[in-house]
A and B are shown apart, each in its own frame.
Chain A
Amino acid sequence: MIKRILLLAVLLVLAWLLWSGLYKPLLLGLGVFSCLLTLYVVRRMGYFDNEVFALRYNLRLVGFWGWLGREIVKSSIEVAQIVLRPSLKVEPKVVALGADDLEPLDQALLGNSITLTPGTLTLDVHEGRILVHSLTAAGADAVLEGEMKRRVSALRQG
């Protein structure tokens, strides 16, 4: 717990110093004040008690982002074609993806990743069930096929 507090404190101080770029006593004092205030508020939210935001899946997360980036590019092109088509016929589809075998944080990560890729949109996450609205039937099938879910749950292992 002490380690996590110290890590966050160092990050906050670095962010303040880099951002302001001014080293006058008043501004440094304000910086110390805001860092301490942030630590207090974050502690009151119970951030340090349980592992809410794990910094530990660091490197594998970068790989996931790379994959997500490619997905975003691919589906952006698809959505762009649909948008620019003169007839503009869309047949949206809503599907539910069961995700109760994932940790809450991973469910949030999965939901956000689904929203981030154009063409699929998380409507609701409730009791381990992710409602996904998709612009095309093919997109909905791709979500149900579950490659993204596999990749998200693979982040946790090891």
Chain B
Amino acid sequence: MDLALDIGSWILLTLGGVSVLIGGIGALRMPDLYSRMHAASVTDSMGAILIILGVMLQAGLSLATIKLAAILLFLLFTSPTASNALASAALLAGNKPRAEVPDTPETSQ
């Protein structure tokens, strides 16, 4: 049982490390601001989920797990808010995306 937990958390942590790294590479390689934000979003959501889940498996049922869950929830609530603030501030400042911005709302569905 312990071994299974260890293996599971090892896999999660490694995958988390890989996705964090991919996001970092993407943030460096991508050609413009908005594409970079997509890459950063890989580290912010995917990396954070995997790493914190991996550490949670190590912590087991304890106060540390609750704290880790709180950290993960907080990160998942705030990181889209921060990216949103960043994107809309950049858009307002005239930082144009490399695609045309539609004026009229298209109907969904």
Interface centre among B45, B76, B101, by most chain A C-beta atoms within 10 angstroms, is B45
Contact A115–B84 (Cβ < 8 Å): yes
Within 8 A of B (CB), among A104-135: 111-113, 115-125, 129, 131, 133, 135
Q: Chain B, interface size: which category? A: 35 or more
Contact indicator per residue, chain A 42-76, by CB within 8 Å of chain B (1) or not (0) = 00000000000000000000000000010011001
- Residues from chain B with a CB closer than 8 A to the CB of A18 are 63, 66
User: Which residue on chain B has the smallest CB distance to residue A125?
Assistant: B84
CA distance A47 to B35 in the complex (A): 36
Selected from A79, A125, A133, the residue in CB contact (under 8 A) with B42 is A79
- Residues from chain A with a CB closer than 8 A to the CB of B91 are 123-124, 131
Q: A18-B63, A94-B97, A116-B45 are in contact. Are A111 and B84 (CB under 8 A)?
A: yes
Any A CB within 8 A of the CB of B81: yes
Selected from B34, B67, B76, B104, the residue in CB contact (under 8 A) with A133 is B34
On B, residues with C-beta under 8 Å from A are: 19, 22-23, 25-26, 29-32, 34-35, 37-39, 41-42, 45-46, 49, 63, 66-67, 76-77, 79-81, 83-84, 87-88, 91, 97-102, 104-109
